[in-house]
A and B are shown apart, each in its own frame.
Chain A
């Protein structure tokens, strides 16, 4: 099928099998390897992307479902060479160890802060509970999301 959607702010048109998983479309056809596949069954959040602004699992969506939608992957968060406030906060707080869960974690945090600009630590933990990290133990990730909320409240880049 001819698939048309908006990918990281740009309209794209691509010939693709309708049953291709979105994670494969992004990684293999579009070359955007920031989106990771870990469990492939919706239990880890590694493949998180934003679809029309909210977080979704790209391993459990088929290409045809993207038609007319707006998709943001980790590659689409920076603007003019500057990282998103959530990405900066992850760096500043050492909320990254092996890094494999980080793209999904960052995108889940971005969507959390979009709907809940001032979350408590408990709300952050709940908001990110679909994203699993096997290295950091989450404390620094929660610290980073708290810091990102402050950055965004102070008017720093989205």
Chain B
């Protein structure tokens, strides 16, 4: 039998992790419990559910930084005025993540630590240059998201260390926020390819700055300064994006799996830039 402990404070959690070697933490359980049941993940002697630690479930803002507790559920994030006002690129992605049922249970911290190449919050968090607050028995450290995820399901999270919060600087320099994923259906869709984008577009429709990240087309989220630079000075039209879109296929490294084959993913990754141009740029 696996013991299940549900601490209500960080101090209680710290003590549990110290005294229960081999314990695994979880929040929504929408990934870990599925993997344990199918045998992909070993069943640990002790599971620690983080959902009742109030400190992990809050969104706050201090100056230019928004701090999202790791156990904030996707539903909670969508209802949060700070997140919806300040982080539209993330909110757009969370809106199409899983289903209401999954969003009620799954958390931003879980999506980050699961480190799936298809995780819907990851491309937005990469363009936002998110930082992660990790807490261990001996103290805390801040790690950039791009340095935290090492590969599919692989992170630098240490023994007895947990992700406490995601920190995001408000993206003041951008005025267009976009997320699109392509998959086999709309609801409960695991993306075959996704694109998160933040652009600064002049009143004349010319791109002045760009941050782009693709999901599901490599072992980790793909971000390319080269492609971003190619967009600067171009009109935000399909014609203006065409040259950069043609390059996207060269910088991604997709695999073929049940959801799509590699050639399709490569083509769609570029085409998502054309679709970005075709969208209504006036919406937030």
Measured CB to CB, the residues of A under 8 A from B are 17-19, 40-43, 45, 48, 54-57, 60-65, 67, 108, 111-112, 125-127, 129-132
Residues on B with beta carbons closer than 8 Å to the beta carbon of A55: 100-101, 104
B188 near A43 (CB under 8 angstroms)? yes
Question: Do the beta carbons of B3 and A18 come within 8 Å of each other?
Answer: yes
The interface residues of chain B, by DSSP majority, are classed as: mixed
> CB distance A130 to B101 under 8 Å?
yes
Chain A residues, Cβ within 8 Å of B51: 65
Q: How many angstroms from the CA of A132 to the CA of B187 in the assembled complex?
A: 10
10 additional A-B pairs beyond A61-B29, A65-B49, beta carbons within 8 Å, are: A19-B1, A54-B104, A57-B102, A61-B105, A62-B4, A62-B29, A62-B33, A62-B47, A62-B49, A129-B99
Query: 29 A-B pairs, CB-CB below 8 angstroms?
Result: A19-B2, A19-B4, A19-B47, A42-B98, A42-B105, A45-B99, A48-B101, A54-B104, A55-B101, A56-B105, A57-B101, A60-B105, A61-B29, A62-B29, A62-B33, A62-B47, A62-B49, A64-B4, A64-B5, A65-B49, A108-B100, A108-B101, A125-B187, A127-B100, A129-B186, A129-B188, A130-B100, A130-B101, A131-B99
> A130's contact among B28, B34, B187, by CB below 8 Å, is which?
B187
In whole angstroms, what is the CA distance A65 to B7 when docked? 11
Whether the pair B3, A42 counts as a contact (CB closer than 8 A) is no
Q: Does B37 contact A (CB under 8 A)?
A: yes
B contact residues, total (Cβ < 8 Å) = 27
Partner of B30, one of A40, A60, A65: A60
Q: Is B38 an interface residue (CB 8 A)?
A: yes
- State whether the Cβ of B230 lies closer than 8 Å to any Cβ in chain A: no
Q: Please give me the residue from chain A that is nearest to B36 by CB atom.
A: A19
Q: Is B176 an interface residue (CB 8 A)?
A: no
CB closest chain-A residue, reference B6 = A64
| A41 and B187 form a contact (CB under 8 A) | no
A120 to B: closest C-beta gap in Å: 15
Residues of A near B2 (CB, < 8 A) are 18-19
Query: Which one of B6, B38, B101 contacts A56 once the chains associate, using CB atoms below 8 Å?
Result: B101
**Chain B residue with Cβ nearest A54:** B104
Contact with A along B86-104 (1 / 0, CB 8 A): 0000000000001111101
How far in angstroms is the closest Cβ of chain A from B92?
14
Bound complex: CA A129 to CA B95 (Å): 12
- List residues of chain B with CB within 8 A of the CB of A42: 30, 34, 98, 101-102, 105
| Chain B 174-204 interface 0/1 with A at a Cβ cutoff of 8 Å (1 = within) | 0000000000001110000000000000000
Contact, CB under 8 Å: B49 / A64: yes
Interfacial chain B residues near A127, Cβ < 8 Å: 100
